[in-house]
Structure 1
Amino acid sequence: MDLPSSLAWLVDEAAASPGPERFLAELGRRLLSDGLPLAGGALTLSVPHPIIARRTWLWRAETGAVIEALGFAAAPESEAGRDWLAGLGPVWEERIGPSEDGLLLGWAGIADGAGTFAADDAARLGDVARFAAAPLAALAAREARAALLEAYLGRRSAARVQAGALARGTGETIRAALLCADLRDFTALSEVTEPHAMIAALDAWFDRVAGAVHAFGGEVLKFIGDGVLAIFPVAVASAEPGADGASQGDNIARADRNACEAALRAVAASRAGMAHLDQIRQAQGLAPLPFGAALHFGEILWGNIGAADRLDFTAIGPAVNLVSRLEGLCKPLGRSVLISGAVAANTQTALTPLGEHALRGIAEPCAVFALPED
């Protein structure tokens, strides 16, 4: 059977597409080659995610470029793909598979005044939709799995797990800035607060700190009660010898500084966010949410740890222990943020030295610094 290029690709190769963006771009390119008069295309998938309900990819035939639009769960459902296609020309659209799968494939034709696709072209696009059902179902399943893993593990950890890093004890040693933070007097607050209000307070706290971590390129590894552990890994690419004449050692030092500076910016943004939240709570007659946070820099083992049938993709090592102990020093020292000497040595930010302090379970005293405005 001699199939058009687009249909043959859907049968033989499309299921191996690395993602919906590449799938849509390649399918659109092949439809153009097969003679279909297209101005653009749109592909929408529903995803199981706490914030994002739908992801839509928009392809423009003139440039071959694909952009992504997100539909959020809290927002009214919109037809981003259809609305965008309607601005290009007549629209052909078809739902792929069961309606609950949320798979929608659409195309815009070349605007010619008729306002519709020619009957033959519409029939050919119907064939494309039927042939696309199987590879799109595979792509949708992969995207759903990725969305779930990212929601529960974080983007970098999810990528490692999807790449096959599943065996217990597997991992790698990486350099990273670490952030450890938790709320003060949380136990006492929880005893006098209704459970739903306590959950809302925790969510608001985690939104501020996790939002700041993600904004500056970090990743939340875990929430532990009212606590957060996050990392800012050293970017491997920036540690390689560059074309600017810098040595490998210079680039490594620069990458270390970048990670520490990102962590410092994130903790400053967290403090600003919490100050604003406390103003809102005060206006509502609620108690503020004081917190403590610590930053450290060092090597960690990042990988699979746990029981044979229940694993956690997390970080362990002396650096993790130190940042946790350092955070426990915030309340005795009357500071909301404490910074280790390892971070202070990797930043140009002005910090206030607080001397060396012994940390429980840590052999050597730790040089401790604070933010000047703290």
Structure 2
Amino acid sequence: MLHTRNSIIDWLINEGWKFSDKKAFTRELANSFLAAGVQIDRIRLTIRLLHPQVMGFSFTWDSSKEEVDFFAASHEMKETDLYKNSPFSAIFEDNAGAIRRPLHNPNCLLDYPVLTDLKEEGFTDYVALPIIFSDGRRSAITLSSKAPKGFTTQELTLIYDCLPALARIVENHALKHTASVLLETYLGKETGQQVLSGKVKRGDGQRIRSIIWFSDLRQSTHLAETMDNEDFLKLLNTYFECTAGAVLDNGGEVLRYIGDAVLAIFPVGETEFCPTTHKAAQNAEKAIRATFDRLDKMNKAHAGLNLPEVKCGVGIHVGEVMYGNIGTNERLEFSVIGSSANEAARLESMTKELKVPVVVSNQFCELHGGDFWHSLGKHNLKGFSNERELYTLAQ
């Protein structure tokens, strides 16, 4: 029985906003429609995002399934016929309003391929509606029914009337996800979480003991001067996939890109002998090997394209650093500062002088252990007193 009061709006205002899990929200949204007497058999909630890898997420509830299905649509999907010939393209690209197709009607226009599929599955009605955010951006919701005569006028009114309340909740989901993703993408996973947790003032931070990674591209000035800007940018991004990508894939945190240099950390445990510390040291070593394996593959590919060979140096140290916000109140950066970070950079610069691709400190060598390291003797580092024994990765 259809209730005259819009209990869907009541649920959205009183309960719906509490759900942080979007699968759970979609499932309970479907239940609120059913409780209001709307005969639905499928809901698809599609949330568009500002995201470097995907243009949006879809959550699909189907009365015949126990779980809500999740789908991430890549940016490349926007160029496919599947997307271009869908109601979502009409809503997102053409700013279409409500799209309704009464599939139970023999004369129903089947102008989107999905409609034929739905009709074959026994659906009798289909509605696609834009969910419009406060800034004009759009997400969407589609509802399908298997009721003999599809949606009634009263049901459609209930659905349409709840859209403003639904839009506020979906926009909140989108904004939270976008904030989290962008902070993680531009600051790093751990740093992004630090900022989201409230460490946003200048001076906010903590002292941490960490393995510090500093890598730098060789002959970058020459490459920039001799290559087309677009080709150099493409080469630089491929190079970062080799270096920063190797760090990220092995549990490190990339803090900054300083031109073509990478500053990263592998946080260690409270003692030198705890599993976290040992794992971090192993991960740093794996990242070194992965970096040069990737560069080797990159250069082999470049040789066939008549592109220049790319080389880099890596310096690794371990020590205590200040991890936090620095800069002005108007422009802050979350980074590591301290002599240990400077020493990692100096170690990288020694790779040129000693003509080796990797230089690590005695402290890191001892932390890592094993027979992986070859002594380069004692050397002075610019800006530091006392000689230090340096090591490189054994072949």
Q: CA deviation at 1:64?
A: 4.3
Code of the aligned partner of 1:153: L
Deviation at residue 310 of structure 1 after TM alignment: 1.2
After superposition, residues 71-86 of structure 1 pair within 5 angstroms as 71-73=74-76, 76=79, 79=83
Query: Structure 1: how far apart are the matches of 2:77 and 2:216?
Result: 28
Structure 2 Cα separation of the partners of residues 268 and 282 of structure 1 = 21
* 1:164 corresponds to: 198
Identity %: 26
Counterpart-to-counterpart distance in 1, 2:392 and 2:78: 41
- The aligned runs of 1:214-363 (5 Å cut-off) are 214-234=248-268, 253-347=274-368, 350-354=371-375, 355-363=377-385
Letter of the aligned partner of 1:361 in structure 2?
G
Check 1:269–1:81 CA distance in 2 against 1; reply closer, same or farther (3 A cut): farther
1:180 aligns with 2:214: yes
Q: Is residue 2:137 matched to residue 1:101?
A: yes
Q: Specify the code of the residue in structure 2 equivalent to 1:167.
A: K
Cα pair distance change 1:270/1:70, threshold 3 Å: farther
Distance in 1 (CA, whole Å) between partners of 2:246 and 2:19 is 33
Displacement of 1:149 after TM fit? 2.7
Give the structure 1 partner of residue 93 of structure 2.
none
Residue 6 (structure 1) shift: 4.3
Corresponding position of 2:108: none
Q: Aligned letter for 1:159? A: Q
AA aligned to 1:176 is: S
- 1: CA distance, partners of 2:197 / 2:387: 40
Asked whether the 8 Å contact 1:50–1:73 carries over to 2, the reply is no
Unpaired segments ≥5 residues, structure 1: 240-248
| Partner of residue 193 from structure 1, selected from 227, 230, 235 | 227
Deviation at 1:28, TM superposition (A): 3.8
RMSD (Å), alpha carbons: 3.5
Instruction: State yes or no: 1:203 paired with 2:224.
Output: no
Secondary structure of 1:260's match?
Answer: helix
1:126 is displaced (CA, Å) by 3.5
1:332-372 CA deviation, whole Å, 9 max, x = no partner? 22221223333333336541222343322233544433222
2 CA distance for matches of 1:155 and 1:81? Answer: 35
- 1:64/1:201 CA distance change after superposition, 3 Å: same
Q: Deviations over 1:278-297 (max 9, x none)?
A: 11211111210111112223
2:391 is equivalent to residue 369 of structure 1: yes
Residue range with higher mean Cα deviation, 192-201 or 71-80: 71-80
Larger CA deviation: 162-171 vs 205-214: 205-214
Report how far residue 187 of structure 1 moved.
1.5
- Residues in 2 aligned to 1:224 and 1:39: alpha-carbon distance in whole angstroms: 53
Q: Is the 8 A contact 1:42 1:81 kept in 2?
A: no
CA distance in 1, matches of 2:22, 2:249: 25
1:47 is matched with: 49
CA apart distance, 1:198: 1.8
> Residue 4 and residue 190 in structure 1: after superposition, are their counterparts in 2 closer, same or farther (change >3 A)?
same
Contact conserved, 2:87 with 2:128, CA < 8 A, in 1?
A: no
- The reply to whether residue 69 of structure 1 matches residue 72 of structure 2 is yes
CA shift for structure 1 position 185: 1.4
Of residues 42, 56, 67, the one that matches 2:58 is 56
**Residue type matched to 2:299 in 1?**
D
* SS of structure 1 residue aligned to 2:222: helix
Q: Give distance in 1, aligned partners of 2:209 and 2:40.
A: 49
Shift of 1:76: 2.5
After superposition, what is the alpha-carbon deviation per residue over 1:15-64, rounded to whole angstroms, capped at 9, x for unaligned?
Answer: 45436445334434544565666665433222223443223344566434
1:318 maps to amino acid: S
Deviates more, 1:308-317 or 1:156-165: 156-165
Give TM-score scaled by structure 2 length: 0.77
Kept in 2: contact 1:92–1:117 (CA 8 A): no
Contact 1:356 1:365 in 2 (8 A): yes
Over 3 Å counting, the alpha-carbon distance change for 1:216 and 1:9 in structure 2 is farther
* Residues 4 and 279 (structure 1), Cα distance of their counterparts in 2 relative to 1, 3 Å cut: same
Q: Does the C-alpha gap of structure 1 residues 60 and 196 become closer, same or farther in structure 2, counting only changes over 3 Å? A: same
Q: Which amino acid aligns with 1:76?
A: E
Q: Is the Cα contact below 8 Å between 2:325 and 2:333 reproduced in 1?
A: yes
Runs of 5+ unmatched residues, structure 2 = 89-113
Measure, in 2, the Cα distance between the counterparts of 1:159 and 1:286: 39
Name the CA shift for 1:57/1:349 in 2 (closer, same or farther; >3 Å): farther
Match for 1:67: what amino acid?
A: F
Moved more, 364-373 or 254-263: 364-373
* SS at 1:346 equivalent: helix
Q: CA deviation at 1:74?
A: 7.5
- Hey, what's the Cα distance between the residues in 2 that align with 1:4 and 1:171? 48
TM-score, normalising length: structure 1: 0.81
